[in-house]
Amino acid sequence: MATRFTSSAHAAVSLPLVTAFLNQKGGVGKTGVTVGAGGALAEMGRRVLMIDLDPQGHLTCEALRLPEADQDGPNLARALTGEYEGPIQDLIISRPSYDGGGQLDVIPTTLAMFLVVRDLYSRRAPETKLARLLEQLPSDAYDHILIDCPPSLDILTDTALVAADGVVIPVQPSNTSLRALRLLIDQIAAIENDLRLPRRELYGMVPGLYRRPLSGIQRFKMAELERYTLPDPDGLVEPLPILAHLPLATIVEEAWLSGEPVTDYRPSAPIADAYRKVALRLDIAAGLSPAEAWEPEPFLEFDPDGPHHEELYVTDSTEDAAVDGVRAHAEGA
């Protein structure tokens, strides 16, 4: 059977493009971005497989209203630990095809996923298990594989990074977001070095789950996130683009209650267009859409021509002092 993986530390040689949606900080909207981008890709006519690697199962049970896999039957947990050795097709829930030929299938979670971390550590080369499982897929089965990762940097996340070609990082403009983002980027690099992996492409970040209008502190934090999109003057940090902005929107909850991606439930909603931007970036990475179709997100708060443009990468102490200044200003207003 032809597959796209050349080794456990693979390089992308053909479709599908595998993308991990990752942040060790919980509550930043990973599942929403995963499902939203998946729905937008399927709307474009792409064949998409989503993998719910998070034991909490928000993608399976909440976003798509699907049942968890039977604990005693074929399921992702048993496949990762080697207890199930049957075809990967038996793990997949196939959803109805889109009019344009798109597909949005799912490998759901199961309650047994809560025990997988402990079991995997006792097995040989545990970080390769998901990549080995995906080797079973024919190379022409899907255009994209999207992995909804757990909010941690444990062995499950390692398996996603080994299997992935690149990473999308959902974030929030909050007090801890910038520090968490730095830690995450450092951890990804450390895992790549430890496992001798090719560098995964950081496609960009997606700020979300914030209310409008932004508070004073949120405006400062959004500006700090936007600074990451600019080149480091010292060449030490790669620019990290913002792919789209996803403020809180009740339409997302409504879509989840119906078990549909927003692009299906309300195609005309502004947030559906934001998910389409994330999908377009991934489709360009897969070589299925032209690079010239991409338009960078405009800055919401950061002024690149402002007086502090040279202070692109502030220290934690400088950042904390700036936040205190913003807080004092806001309280005094």
Most confident range (mean pLDDT) of 111-115, 173-177, 310-314 is 111-115
> How far is residue 147's CA from residue 130's CA, in Å, rounded to a whole number?
10
The 8-class DSSP code of residue 15 comes to S
Q: Is residue 8 part of a domain?
A: no
Q: Is residue 7 part of a domain?
A: no
Q: How confident is the model at residue 234 (pLDDT cuts 50, 70, 90)?
A: low
The 8-class DSSP code of residue 138 comes to -
- pLDDT at position 242, please? 93
Domain containing residue 26:
17-332
pLDDT digits (tens, 9 = 90+) for 147-171: 999 998 889 999 999 999 999 999 9
Above pLDDT 70, what percent of the chain? 85
Q: What is the CATH number of the domain that holds 220?
A: 3.40.50.300
Predicted confidence (pLDDT) at residue 105 exceeds the cutoff of 70: yes
Q: How many domains does the chain have?
A: 1
Q: Determine contact, residues 35/59, Cβ cutoff 8 Å.
A: yes
For residue 123, what are its two tokens? 């097995």
- pLDDT at position 10, please? 40
- pLDDT at position 14, please? 67
Residue 19: Cβ within 10 Å count: 28
Q: Compute CA distances 243 → 47, 110, 128, 226, whole Å.
A: 21, 31, 29, 11
Predicted confidence (pLDDT) at residue 177 exceeds the cutoff of 90: no
Q: How confident is the model at residue 224 (pLDDT cuts 50, 70, 90)?
A: confident
Neighbouring C-alpha atoms within 13 Å toward the C-beta of 14 = 12
- pLDDT at position 129, please? 95
Above pLDDT 90, what percent of the chain? 59
Give the bridge partners for 206, in sequence order.
170
What are the b/e assignments for 107-144, b being 16+ CB within 10 Å? bbbbebbeebbebbeeeeebbbbbbbbbbebeeebbbb
> How far is residue 229's CA from residue 231's CA, in Å, rounded to a whole number?
7
Least confident stretch, 116-120, 254-258, 275-279, 312-316? 312-316
pLDDT digits (tens, 9 = 90+) for 132-145: 999 999 989 999 99
Most confident range (mean pLDDT) of 151-165, 236-250, 308-322 is 151-165
pLDDT digits (tens, 9 = 90+) for 65-90: 999 999 889 999 999 999 999 999 99
**pLDDT, mean of residues 282-294:** 96
Asked if the peptide bond before residue 16 counts as cis, ω within 30 degrees of 0, the response is: yes
Q: Compute CA distances 241 → 165, 169, 183, 295, 313, whole Å.
A: 17, 10, 17, 11, 15
Helices 216-227 + 316-332 axis angle, to 10: 150
Q: Is residue 319 part of a domain?
A: yes
Q: Return the amino acid letter for 305.
A: D
Mind giving me the DSSP string for 265-326? Answer: H-TTSHHHHHHHHHHHHHHHHTTSS-GGG--PPPPSS--TTSTTTT--S--HHHHHHHHHHH
Helix (H, G, I), strand (E, B) or coil at 331: helix
- pLDDT at position 229, please? 81
> How far is residue 260's CA from residue 252's CA, in Å, rounded to a whole number?
9
Q: Is residue 255 part of a domain?
A: yes
**pLDDT, mean of residues 84-109:** 96
- pLDDT at position 15, please? 77
- pLDDT at position 26, please? 84
- pLDDT at position 235, please? 63
**pLDDT, mean of residues 304-327:** 44
327 compared with 117, residue with greater pLDDT: 117
Q: Is residue 12 part of a domain?
A: no
- pLDDT at position 77, please? 96
Most confident range (mean pLDDT) of 199-203, 256-260, 310-314 is 256-260
pTM of the model: 0.86
Q: Is residue 195 part of a domain?
A: yes
For residue 71, what are its two tokens? 């604990």
Determine the straight-line distance between the first and last CA of the chain, rounded to whole angstroms: 66
Q: Is residue 135 part of a domain?
A: yes
Q: Is residue 212 part of a domain?
A: yes
> How far is residue 289's CA from residue 140's CA, in Å, rounded to a whole number?
17
> How far is residue 208's CA from residue 271's CA, in Å, rounded to a whole number?
11
Q: Compute CA distances 69 → 52, 57, 72, 108, 240, whole Å.
A: 11, 11, 9, 6, 36
